[in-house]
Amino acid sequence: MAAAAQTPDPMPRIRVQGNCFVSENGDTLVFRGLNSSDPDNLDRQGHWNKAYFETIKKWGANIVRFPVHPAAWRRRGQDNYLQLLDQGVLWAKEQGLYVIIDWHSIGNLRSELFQAPGYETTQKETFEFWRTMAKHYKDEPAVAFFELFNEPTVLRGELGLCTWAQWKAIMEETITIIRAHDCRAIPLVAGFDWAYDLTPVATEPIQAEGIAYVSHPYPQKRNPPWAGQWTADWGFVAEKYPVILTEIGFCGADDPGAHVPVISDESYGDAITTYTAEKGISWVAWVFDPKWAPRLFTDWDFTPSRQGVYFRRVLGEGRH
């Protein structure tokens, strides 16, 4: 365990008020930040350290998202993984960064069919993970958000079936488990189509107070011009509830790791940052790692990639 000379002062707790995130000091907050790669991945490379968080802060972020892959959680074991998270939370607090803990699976939690082996989990393991997180972090305001499931999808039926009503019930049960432990972290709920589509929220919102919704509107989810389609697909939710885009980003077609749906250029960056600024929607760029794609830097000197240059500039401008 890394030890700090002294524990950082507590950060103001965040809560939901209407369609905004508000601190206990009464400030309305819009989050702009960066995704780490899996803490287990960074630790195994020797880069889960204070310098990593100092650089995230230096780029202008006020939040960092930790994607916890179920396979990594099992491989390292609960107690050892919690040590990793505690280290990260401490370093984040030292930099004044809030934290999202994300259960980073992709697939159909109802059928328990997933897109790749690293995402394999079960409903029981998912519930147990959040029960553990709720007990462990209930008194830690810096851990402001629990992202209950990264990217729900049925992959055009390959992963079975799941209706919104079924998904809603699983999410509501997860929230019940978290709140049974007096945990005030804000649950984040994603929609289908790899966490893109929130249209069912219009008629069947999650039956729980104090939550927020997630979308991952990567550039190739829709063809430009984007703004009107974004409003129809997920942006309308921000009129009533807080919305946080926990993954945005882009790279060129020839960049390392380029894949659908992330291939684009700065025109996407301008469109999404302008749209979110106008609507007070929070976002977190993917991903602060030199190998995972679309990457924000290219080496462990933190040399920005093309999208890294873009988002470092936007974050530095404080475009909230």
Give me the pLDDT at residue 317, please. Answer: 83
Cα(251)–Cα(293) distance, rounded to whole angstroms? 8
- The whole-angstrom distance between residue 236's C-alpha and the CA centroid of its chain comes to 20
Tell me phi and psi for residue 143, to 5 degrees: -85, 85
Domains of the chain: 17-317 (3.20.20.80)
Crossing angle of the two packed helices 50-59 and 78-94, in degrees rounded to 10: 40
The pTM (predicted TM-score) of the whole model is 0.97
Give me the pLDDT at residue 258, please. Answer: 97
Give me the pLDDT at residue 6, please. Answer: 58
Q: What is the largest CA-CA distance in the chain?
A: 53
Residues of the chain with pLDDT under 50: 1-5, 320
Give me the pLDDT at residue 318, please. Answer: 65
Give me the pLDDT at residue 191, please. Answer: 96
